[in-house]
Amino acid sequence: MNWSIGRGRSWPLGTQLRDQGCNFAVYAPKAEKVWLCLFDGDKEVRLAMPDYGRGIWHGFVPGIQAGQAYGFRAEGQFRPSQGLWFNEHKFMLDPYSHALSAPVMPHPSQLAQHEGKIDCPNLTDSAPFLPRSLVVDHQFDWQDDPEPHHAFRNTVLYELHIKGFTKQLQAIPQALRGTYLGLAQPAAIEHLKRMRITAVQIMPVQAFATEPRLAQMGLVNYWGYNPVCFMAPDPRYAVKDAVSEFKTMVKALHQAGIEVILDVVFNHTAEGGHFGPTFNHKGLHADVFYRLADDNPGQFIDHSGCGNSVSSHRSYALREIMDSLRHWREQYHIDGFRFDLAASLGREPLDYDQHCALFRTMTQDPCLVGAKLIAEPWDIGMGGYQLGNFPPQWYECNDKFRDRVRAFWRGDEFCLPDFCTRIMGSRDLFEHQHGVPTRSLNYVTYHDGFTLHDLVSYSDKHNQANGEHNRDGHGHNYNYNHGVEGPTKDPKILAIRRKQQRNMLATVLLSQGAVHLLGGDETMHSQHGNNNAYCQDNPITWKNWQLRPEQEEHCQFVEQMIRIRQSSRLFHDLSFTKTELLNGPAHSRKVHWYNELGQEMTIADWHDNRRQHVSLLLSSSEPRLNAKDGLAEEAFLILFNSSDQAINMRLPGSGWLLMLDTDKNNGLMLSSKKSISGQYLIEGKSLALLTQNPSWYEQLQHNTKETLCK
C-alpha cells in the first residue's frame, strides 16, 4: 500500500473515519517525534505524524477503511527517573483503541528496560509480540434498542463473568460458549429472566493483559482487572468481531428487560511500575497519566496494589476516562458502571475528595444522566476507605453489610443491633441523605472472596492453585465449615450448610437498598475453598449447569425470594427521618422491632449483647395491634434467629399466615395457607416470613413459577 499522511485534526483522540480516509490523533506532549504504524499483513509502514499542537500529534491518511491495523511509536528521551519512557523500539497500542486484533499476551520484548536496569532501554522490537489496534466503523442496527431503565431501588444485580457463565452451558452451541454471543443466546438469557434478574454486572471486558508473573506459572488473569485499553472490548471473548458481538449481546439483554452494568477499571493499567511493560501510556505520556512522586518523578505512586495509579485529577487522564464512559454509553448502550477501587479516582491529588474534578465532571455530563454509578468505595492507600462518602448519585458496595450478615448468621454475639441497622439500609453510613431511599448496595458475596457455598463449607481459604503458597486472598471472612472442612456426606452438616445459604440470601433480598448477587450462588457453585480465584480459568470458576436436585431446589428458592422482594415496596423502598434513626436501628410508623415476648424492643433489649433473635414488622401504615381485621393494607413479619436453639416467639397482633421458613420445606412457600396465632416456634439458625394478607399470599403463589432451574 502506498499510504501518505497529511494535515489532520487534533480531535477526536484516536481514530475517526471521514472523507474517504481516517484521522489519527494521539497525546504525547513531550515526544520529539511520533510515528503512525500502519500494517499491510505483517508488513509495517511508518508515517511521521505531521502536526503537533496542544500536546497532540495528528494526521489524516486517505484510503483508510474500517478494519485497518495500526499503532504508534514515539521518539524522545528515555529517562525513567524523570518519568520519560520514550523508546522507538516499543510498538504501542492506541490508548483510544476501539478494537484490538487479538488478546494482549505478555512477552519479554514488551518490558521497558533492559535486564531490569532502570535507565537502560530494552531495544528489542515489541511489534511482533503485540496485537494491533483496529480502525472501527460503529454502524450497528440497534432496532430501537429498548433500554430498560429500572429504578435503582428495584434493582437486583447479578454479577457474572462472560466466559465463566456460559462455558459449560450445553444448550449453547459449543463455538459460542464463553463468548459475548454465548451470553446473548436464549438459554443464557432465559436463566436470568427465570431468576427475575433486572441487571447483569459484567466483570471487566476492557481489553486487558495477563501479568508476566502469572504467565510464567502457566496461569492467566481470568478476572480482567488489568486493563490495557479503556475503550476496546477484549477480543478473547469474541468469535470474530468483538465490537459487533458485544453490541449484539447488549441488545439481546435489553430486549429481555435486563440492564448491563460494566465493571470498569480506571484506577491503574497493566503497565505496572518501573519494570513493567510498555503498551501505550508509559511510552507516550507516563509523566502526566500516572501518579508520580513530586520529589521523585521516577517513583510510581501505587494506590491499587498493581504497580501504578492513574492520575485521574489531571486533565488528560480525566479526559480519557470520560471519553471511555461516553464511548460505552453511546456506542454500546451500557446502562451503568461499577468502578473498581473508586476511592483512587477521587484522590486529588493524594487525599480523597468526593467533590473531585472527575466526579463533578461525571455529574454534569448529559451522556451519563440516568446511568447507574456504583463505587467500590476504597483503595489500598492511606485514607482509602470511603464507604458512605461518595456523591449522592452513586450507590456503594457495602462491605459492612456483608460482614455483619455473615457474622450474625454464623452465630456471633454482640452484633444484633448492627445487623438490624444494615438490613434497614445502613443509615448510619449514609446519614447525609435523610428522607430518601438508601444508597447501600447490599451483598454477602462478590467475585473477590468465597462463593456462598464455600462460605459455609470452609473455615480456611484454600488458594494453593494460585501459586502463592496460600498467602493470597482475604484471611478474615466470617466463614465456618459447620464441622467438616470442605466436602462431606454427613446429612446433618449438608442440611445446615444449605439452610445457612438460604438465610443469608433471604436476608439480602429482604433488605433495604439495591441488592447484588454473585452469579452461581443460586446454584450453590463451589470454588473448592479458593477465595481469590482471579487466575483460575477452568471449572473452578466456570458455572456448572449440571445440577443435582438440591441445587435446582435452591435455585427455585432464590427465584422465590426475588419475587417476594419485587412484590412489595416495603422490602426495598423505605425512607427515614433523623428522629426515626435515633436510639437503635431505623424505625418508623412502617417499621417496628419486637422481642420474643411480642413487645417492642427497648433500649435494654438492644443492649443485650447476647441476644441473637428479633422480629421485624413491616406495614404499609401504622400497625393496629388490637384490630381484628389485621394490621394494615400490607403487613409482613420477619423472624430472625441466629442462635443454635429454637425459640418460641410471640407474634404481635393476630391473623398471621406463614409464607416460608428456611428450616422447613427447604425454604419454599407452602402449597397451602398455614395460619399462625399467638406464637411461633422458630428453630435455631432460621428465618421465617409471615403475612396478614391472604390475597397477596395467594397472588404470589399463583405467579410463582413451578418449573425448577435447568
Could you tell me the pLDDT band of residue 588, with boundaries at 50, 70 and 90? confident
**Nearest alpha-carbon partner for 527 in 227, 222, 237:** 222
Model pLDDT, residue 632: 56
**C-alpha torsion angle, residues 162, 163, 164, 170 (rounded to 10):** 110
CATH superfamily for domain 152-396 = Glycosidases (3.20.20.80)
Q: Same CATH topology for 14-134 and 579-703?
A: yes
- 65 to 1, 23, 41, 139, 234: CA distances (angstroms): 13, 11, 15, 13, 21
Q: What is the pTM of this model?
A: 0.96
Model pLDDT, residue 624: 55
Q: In angstroms, rounded to a whole number, what is the distance separating the alpha carbons of residues 312 and 519?
A: 31
Model pLDDT, residue 433: 53
Model pLDDT, residue 240: 98
For 14-134, give the CATH class: mainly beta
Is the pLDDT score of 710 beyond 50? Answer: no
SS3 282: helix
Could you tell me the pLDDT band of residue 262, with boundaries at 50, 70 and 90? very high
**253 close to 200: Cβ distance less than 8 angstroms:** yes
| Catalytic site residue from 376, 522, 537, 596 | 376
Per residue in 280-290, pLDDT tens? Answer: 999 999 999 99
Name the percent of the chain lying above pLDDT 90. 87
CB neighbourhood size of 364 (10 A): 8
Query: Does the domain made of 579-703 have the CATH classification 2.60.40.1180?
Result: yes
Q: How many Å separate Cα 551 from the centre of its chain?
A: 24
**339 close to 375: Cβ distance less than 8 angstroms:** yes
Q: In angstroms, rounded to a whole number, what is the distance separating the alpha carbons of residues 172 and 70?
A: 35
Provide the 8-state DSSP code for 32: S
Per residue in 77-127, pLDDT tens? Answer: 999 999 999 999 999 999 999 999 999 999 999 998 887 677 899 999 999
Position 549: which residue type? P
Q: Which residues of 36-49 are buried (b: 16+ CB within 10 A; e: fewer)?
A: bbbbeeeebeebeb
Model pLDDT, residue 577: 75
Could you tell me the pLDDT band of residue 60, with boundaries at 50, 70 and 90? very high
Q: In angstroms, rounded to a whole number, what is the distance separating the alpha carbons of residues 611 and 603?
A: 13
**C-alpha torsion angle, residues 478, 481, 482, 485 (rounded to 10):** -160
**270 close to 226: Cβ distance less than 8 angstroms:** yes
Model pLDDT, residue 118: 77
SS3 527: coil
| Catalytic site residue from 234, 245, 302, 340 | 340
Cell of 91: 510498538
**120 close to 113: Cβ distance less than 8 angstroms:** yes
Model pLDDT, residue 700: 83
Cell of 425: 439500609
**585 close to 593: Cβ distance less than 8 angstroms:** yes
Cell of 82: 524523570
- Verify whether residue 44 is a known catalytic residue: no
**Nearest alpha-carbon partner for 423 in 327, 495, 489, 503:** 503
The residue behind cell 494535515 is 7
Per domain, the residue ranges of the chain are 14-134, 152-396, 579-703
Per residue in 438-481, pLDDT tens? Answer: 899 999 999 999 999 999 999 999 999 999 999 999 999 999 99
Is the pLDDT score of 678 beyond 70? Answer: yes
Per residue in 590-623, pLDDT tens? Answer: 899 999 999 999 999 999 999 999 999 999 876 5
Position 73: which residue type? R
- Verify whether residue 340 is a known catalytic residue: yes
Model pLDDT, residue 273: 93
Helices (H), 435-485: 452-455
**656 close to 690: Cβ distance less than 8 angstroms:** yes
SS3 660: strand
Q: In angstroms, rounded to a whole number, what is the distance separating the alpha carbons of residues 168 and 176?
A: 11
Q: Which residues of 306-335 are buried (b: 16+ CB within 10 A; e: fewer)?
A: bbbbbbbbbebbbebbbbbbebbbebbbbb
The residue behind cell 504508534 is 72
The overall average pLDDT reported for the chain is: 94
What kind and span of H or E run contains 326? helix 315-332
Per residue in 212-223, pLDDT tens? Answer: 999 999 999 999
Could you tell me the pLDDT band of residue 490, with boundaries at 50, 70 and 90? very high
Positive or negative: CA dihedral 170, 173, 175, 177: negative
Residues 6+ positions from 599 with CB-CB distance below 8 Å:
none
Is the pLDDT score of 356 beyond 80? Answer: yes
Positive or negative: CA dihedral 656, 661, 664, 667: positive
**C-alpha torsion angle, residues 536, 537, 542, 546 (rounded to 10):** -100
For residue 146, cis peptide bond before it (omega within 30 degrees of 0) = no
Per residue in 177-196, pLDDT tens? Answer: 999 999 999 999 999 999 99
CB neighbourhood size of 149 (10 A): 9
Is the pLDDT score of 705 beyond 50? Answer: no
